[in-house]
Structure 1
Amino acid sequence: MVPIGPTSRIVVGIDGSDASKGALVWAIGQAKLTGATLEAVIAFKRPTGAYGEPAILPGDLDFEGEARRTLGDVIAEALDSAGSEGCEVLTTVVEDNPTVALLRASASADLLVVGASGHGSVVGALIGSVSEYCVHHATCPVVVVRHPPQ
């Protein structure tokens, strides 16, 4: 296991779900405990139409702005819950597939933290599981913070 300390980096994946909020609260606690740098990553994808062409959408939708707002809201809530003293959260907003974005961000990290919704194997197989993919493909240790389904 790679030692976690003041020169270490923890990456946590955020998508606005309760599972990702729980992962961030856990990661804040770990960063405060170890003195590691904490980076919260959110990824977004613009919808595509047939043949991968950009989808025609009504109005001017700001996907990046919405991702930034979601990230800011989740961080504020988590810092309020975990106690904001002694922890700075760096932010990264990426236009990419969430699994690709997290694996890239964590390539030079000492720890990757992700949330799991707890949907189980059937729903996970149908919609895909970012946490499961990260466990199998990340080059650093991965902590999965489980959140039970509603």
Structure 2
Amino acid sequence: MNAWGTLLATIVGAAIALLGQRLAKRAEDKARLSELLMEQCALIASSVTDFEDRIWEERVLGMEGRVSGYDLPAHVLASVRLRILTRDAALLAALDELDTAGKELGSYWRQGRVDDDAYTRLWTRHHKAIPKFINASGEAVRRRLASA
């Protein structure tokens, strides 16, 4: 009977160790996904702020070619990564609004003719979308970390 008890204890101990390893790996994976989510959100927020800065530099400071130097592919890549990483409806809605406002502002700016009223309306929409996106990003990241 003693041999059976030892065998049972060994099996239970091994099962506990394997379960512990699996749970630790799962927690590490969730933490890594949270880090990736936060990184993509931060990249998008900094990218759209850079976009606004470049428009301001052209409009106010008269620095030509600033908007054409904007790294749109990096912004698109971060947006796609974010869409892959999350299903958070509020975050995706904020990203959609930010992207739509950015596309409208960018296409209007590239036309070359700037009407102050139209420009102000498009700039304001885009500018207000940035903190909404940042807030939604923070909420999504905190929720993911809390569930980790």
What interval of TM-score do these two structures reach, taking the shorter chain for normalisation?
A: under 0.3
Richer in strand (by share): 1
Richer in helix (by share): 2
TM-score normalized by structure 2?
0.24
